[in-house]
Structure formats: C-alpha cells, structure tokens
Amino acid sequence: MPDSATERIPVDVAVGVLLRRDAQGREQSFLLTTRPPGKVYAGHWEFPGGKIEAGETLEQALRRELQEELGITIEQVHPWKVDVMDYPHARVRLHFCKVYDWQGDLQMLEGQQFAWQSLPVQVQPVLPGTIPVLRWLAQEQGFEGNTHVE
Ligand SMILES: Nc1nc2c([nH]c(=O)n2[C@@H]2O[C@H](COP(=O)(O)OP(=O)(O)OP(=O)(O)O)[C@@H](O)[C@H]2O)c(=O)[nH]1
C-alpha cells in the first residue's frame, strides 16, 4: 500500500473529559491540560488522554493514561462522543469519555499545566481537536457565544 494511504489509517485515542458538578448535579467545570514539552502541539490545551494500545479497551486505555499523566484512578467511564481529526502528522479517532469520579489528587506527571475551565474557555491556544468538544458542551449547557478565546 502506498505510504500516503497507510498514514491516514486513524489512530484510536482515549480522551477524558473530567467534570466537576455542583450540588444539583449540573456540570460546572472541566479539566484541560497542556500538551507536554517535546510532543506535537506542545503547550496547546487539550483534554487528557492518549493512544489506545494493542489489546486494550477504551476504558483500560483511559484508566492507564490518566494514571500515567495525572496520577489519579478514575471510576466510571461514560463514553460520550467520537470524532475523527485529520492533522498533518496523523489522522486520529478521538473517543471522548466523561468522568465524574476519581481517587487521588491531580499531579502533573508529564510536566503539563492544568486548568479547571468553564465556557468560555480562557486558556489558549486550544488544540484544534478540543474545539468540537467545547461546542458539544455548549450545546448541552445551552451556552451561546464563543466557546474559547482565540
Ligand atoms: N490527549 C488528547 N489528544 C488529542 C486531543 N485532541 C486531539 O486532536 N488529540 C490528538 O490525539 C493524539 C493523541 O496522542 P498523544 O500524543 O496525546 O498520545 P500518547 O500520550 O499515547 O502519545 P505518545 O505515546 O505517542 O507520546 C495526538 O495526535 C493529539 O494531537 C485531546 O483532547 N486530548
């Protein structure tokens, strides 16, 4: 197969949308982290996660990634949305999962920064793959206007 064709086979990525809820159970803020130094799009804000490895389920991959990156043990995983993004460096299929509960304090084990955000997101720049997620959250919350600062 030509290289151009093999390059475009999507890589599956498990992504966690960690949410804090208010006393009424409404989703209040979500966790964004920066891509660590040395990675593609270093410094861009995204939802934590990473590639699903051979033999792993989505849930196993997310649990492993969030343990490695944030030092937390997540509880229930709620698969939410799937989106394919085409980057110059890769084509990725992003499996976004909501997570409401976890054990342990957040630690930035890969030198990332973190921010609890609500709409409109104030940190920048956000990763292109993050923007559709902000729109879905806006739809669910009935939020109108720009989802992030450009
Ligand atoms: N973690 C994460 N990755 C995302 C998001 N949106 C998005 O387009 N991506 C893309 O999905 C891919 C995830 O790969 P990664 O580099 O974070 O995964 P990883 O930790 O397993 O990487 P590595 O083991 O290759 O270093 C990247 O190409 C990244 O640009 C997002 O919200 N979170």
Model confidence pLDDT, tens digit, residues 59-107: 999 999 999 999 999 999 999 999 999 988 889 999 999 999 999 999 9
Tell me which CATH code domain 3-118 carries.
3.90.79.10
- What does the pLDDT read at residue 6? 53
For a pocket test of ligand 1, which of 30, 33, 46, 62 has the largest count of ligand atoms closer than 8 A to its C-beta?
46
For ligand 1, whether the C-beta of 83 sits within 6 Å is no
Task: Classify 88 as helix, strand or coil.
Answer: coil
- Contact present, 80 and 1 (Cβ < 8 Å): no
pLDDT bin (cut points 50, 70, 90) of residue 37 is confident
For a pocket test of ligand 1, which of 12, 13, 15, 93 has the largest count of ligand atoms closer than 8 A to its C-beta?
13
Taking the model in full, what pTM does it have?
0.92
- CA nearest 119: which of 86, 147, 85, 90? 147
